[in-house]
């Protein structure tokens, strides 16, 4: 239930009000602490907040589903959910809503765990005061806003990267590759007169033919890796098949491919995202896993399409999965890029890894609607 500031406060509130009130959802079963929060937000900071309250996680999630919550204050010890699972459930129910976790003193580590899982902040109940509370809420809302802007930016960057790759691939094909083809033709004409040449010239010519062929092959591979032409023409099925064959040949890794027989064309962004995930996962298998085999499996389930790329290599070092990538750290951006691509289309990336091997799973809605 929403609790608004009292009538009497409204006149004063109007004068002070510069922004809309922040809509807070408090999920807390401790009545005394809930009272403390209500008093701090609704009386001492009248006009700045609206407050909805729930005593159980299930009730809180119902309110959350109705939308229009700016930030959640979440106690991790509720009658129907305990510890970090509480956070995971709330986060999954509304991934875009910032969460400030409330913990008790000896649960500091749980708070940190929630932060690693995506909580904006955590407050230790016995140490919280009104200033800390308000600052934490405002900070969480602002940080979530900045994160949303960053996500929009990275979506645009990935889109531009795809467009640019497509453009460069076409340019390479239409210009340099054509010139090289003309060069090869001239060289083969010259080759027809090889009998009239001295051995040294003949040798130079034959080397030049080999170089020109090698150049053509490299250019074709480069243009293909930048943007597989079959993805536009035949869609995912054709492009994946061709890519997997080429990869197996180049790397010597055996690739098993399983595609649903009735896979229809999907929206362009969905096909590109799935193709790029498969490409990056195979590259990672080749570069990092040491596996001699790889399997690619696409499955359709009702409204979702799922891709599993599996290897039997040494697994991803645990440390790598939790480190933050970036130029300074020297870590790659492959996994982060895959995750971001899928997130933008309303999907998700899951990675299971052990010393027996790694499975990268991408799940996307079939429609690929943008979130
Ligand atoms: N299939 C795998 N098997 C074992 N380790 C892996 C596998 N995939 C990824 N890794 C590990 O995870 C790290 C991060 O992978 P990621 O794709 O993000 O970056 P990268 O491959 O190092 O660089 P980039 O993709 O930016 O060229 C790798 O450096 C590697 O240590
Ligand atoms: Mg990589």
Question: Could you read off the pLDDT of 258-309 as tens digits, one per residue?
Answer: 999 888 888 888 999 999 999 999 999 999 999 999 999 999 988 899 999 9
Whole-number Cα distances in Å, 350 to 21, 150, 285, 308, 361? 37, 22, 16, 9, 5
Q: Which of 160-164, 221-225, 251-255, 318-322 has the lowest mean pLDDT?
A: 318-322
| Res 57: pLDDT | 96
pLDDT of residue 273: 92
**Ligand 1 site, residue 337, Cβ cutoff 6 A:** no
Q: Whose CA is nearest to atom 14 of ligand 1?
A: 332
Measuring from atom 30 of ligand 1, which residue has the nearest CA?
A: 288
Residue 90 is predicted with a pLDDT of 92
Count CA atoms closer than 13 A to 357's CA, side-chain side. 14
343 in contact with ligand 1, CB cutoff 6 A: no
Q: Per residue in 7-45, pLDDT tens?
A: 344 444 444 446 789 999 999 999 999 999 999 999 999
pLDDT at residue 324, as a whole number: 59
> Which of 116 and 105 is assigned the larger pLDDT?
116
Give the per-residue pLDDT at 369: 40
pTM of the full predicted structure? 0.69
Q: Which pLDDT value is given to residue 271? A: 92
Q: Which of 8-12, 102-106, 223-227 has the lowest mean pLDDT?
A: 8-12
Q: Is 333 in the pocket of ligand 1 (CB under 6 A)?
A: yes
- The pLDDT of residue 327 is 46
Predicted confidence band of residue 118 (pLDDT cuts 50, 70, 90): confident
Please give the C-alpha separations between residue 27 and each of 30, 99, 119, 213, in angstroms, as whole numbers.
9, 11, 15, 68
Query: Ligand 1 centroid to 257 CA: how many Å?
Result: 22
Residue with CA nearest ligand 1 atom 22? 332
Single out the residue of 285, 289, 295, 232 nearest to residue 258, CA to CA.
295
Three-state secondary structure call for residue 306: strand
Mean pLDDT of 318-334: 64
What is the reported pLDDT for 5?
42
Ligand 1 proximity of 316 Cβ (cutoff 6 Å): yes
Q: How far is the CA of 333 from the centre of ligand 1 (A)?
A: 8
Tell me the CA–centroid distance for residue 13 and ligand 1, in Å. 53
Atom 6 of ligand 1: nearest residue by CA position: 316
- The protein residue with its alpha carbon nearest to ligand 1, atom 24, reads 332
Distance, CA of 236 to CA of 308 (rounded, Å): 14
Residue 106: its pLDDT value, please? Answer: 72
Residue whose CA is at the smallest distance from ligand 1 atom 8: 284
Those residues with Cβ within 8 angstroms of residue 318's Cβ, 6 or more apart along the chain or in another chain: none
Contact indicator for 80, 47 with CB cutoff of 8 Å: no
Q: Which atom of ligand 1 lies nearest, measured to the CA of 336?
A: 18
* pLDDT for 353 beyond 80: yes
Q: Is there an atom of ligand 1 within 6 Å of 114 CB? A: no
Task: Find the distance separating the first CA and the last CA of the chain, reported in whole Å.
Answer: 28
Whether 368 has a pLDDT exceeding 60, the answer reads: no
DSSP summary character for residue 97? S
- The conformation of residue 87, written as its DSSP 8-state character, comes to H
Residue nearest atom 5 of ligand 1, based on CA coordinates: 316
Q: Which of 110-119, 143-152, 295-304, 318-327 has the lowest mean pLDDT?
A: 318-327
279 lines ligand 1 (CB under 6 A): no
* 280, 321, 332, 355, best to mutate for ligand 1 pocket (most atoms within 8 Å of CB): 332
pLDDT tens, residue by residue, 46-93: 999 999 999 999 999 999 988 889 999 999 989 999 888 899 999 888
pLDDT tens, 120-176? 999 999 899 999 999 999 999 999 999 889 888 988 888 898 889 888 988 888 888
Q: Is the CB of 237 under 6 A from ligand 1?
A: no
Atom from ligand 1 closest to the CA of residue 360: 1
Ligand 1 binding pocket mutation candidate from 284, 315, 341, 354 (most atoms within 8 A of CB): 284
311 lines ligand 1 (CB under 6 A): yes
Closest CA relative to residue 85, chosen from 51, 105, 50, 61: 61
CA dihedral angle for residue 337, residue 340, residue 341, residue 342, rounded to 10 degrees? 130
């Amino acid at each position: 239930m929403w609790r608004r500031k009292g009538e009497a406060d409204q006149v004063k509130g109007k004068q002070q009000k510069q922004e809309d009130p922040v809509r807070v959802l408090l999920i807390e079963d401790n009545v005394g602490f809930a009272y403390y929060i209500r008093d701090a937000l609704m009386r001492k900071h009248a006009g700045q907040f609206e407050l909805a309250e729930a005593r159980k996680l299930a009730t809180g999630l119902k309110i959350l589903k109705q939308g229009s919550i700016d930030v959640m204050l979440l106690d991790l010890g509720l009658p129907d959910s305990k510890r970090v699972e509480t956070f995971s459930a709330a986060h999954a129910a509304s991934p875009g809503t910032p969460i400030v976790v409330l913990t008790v003193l000896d649960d500091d580590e749980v708070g940190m765990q929630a932060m690693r899982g995506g909580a904006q902040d955590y407050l230790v109940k016995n140490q919280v005061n009104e200033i800390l509370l308000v600052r934490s809420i405002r900070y969480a809302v602002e940080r979530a806003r900045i994160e949303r802007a960053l996500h929009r930016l990275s979506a645009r960057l990935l889109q531009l990267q795809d467009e640019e790759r497509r453009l460069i691939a076409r340019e390479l094909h239409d210009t340099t590759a054509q010139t090289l083809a003309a060069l090869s033709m001239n060289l083969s004409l010259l080759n027809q007169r090889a009998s009239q040449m001295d051995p040294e010239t003949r040798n130079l010519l034959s080397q030049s033919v080999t170089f020109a062929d090698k150049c053509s092959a490299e250019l074709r591979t480069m243009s293909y890796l930048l943007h597989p032409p079959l993805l536009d023409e035949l869609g995912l099925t054709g492009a994946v098949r061709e890519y997997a064959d080429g990869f197996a040949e180049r790397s010597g890794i055996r690739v098993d491919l399983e595609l649903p027989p009735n896979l229809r064309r999907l929206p362009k962004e969905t096909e590109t995202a799935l193709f790029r995930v498969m490409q990056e996962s195979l590259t990672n298998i080749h570069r990092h896993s040491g596996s001699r085999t790889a399997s690619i499996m696409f499955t359709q389930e009702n409204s979702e399409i799922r891709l599993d790329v599996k290897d039997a290599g040494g697994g991803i070092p645990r440390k790598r999965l939790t480190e933050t990538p970036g130029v300074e750290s020297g870590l790659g951006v492959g996994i982060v890029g895959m995750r971001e691509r899928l997130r933008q289309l309303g999907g998700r990336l899951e990675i299971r890894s052990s010393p027996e091997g790694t499975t990268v799973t991408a799940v996307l809605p079939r429609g690929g609607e943008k979130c």
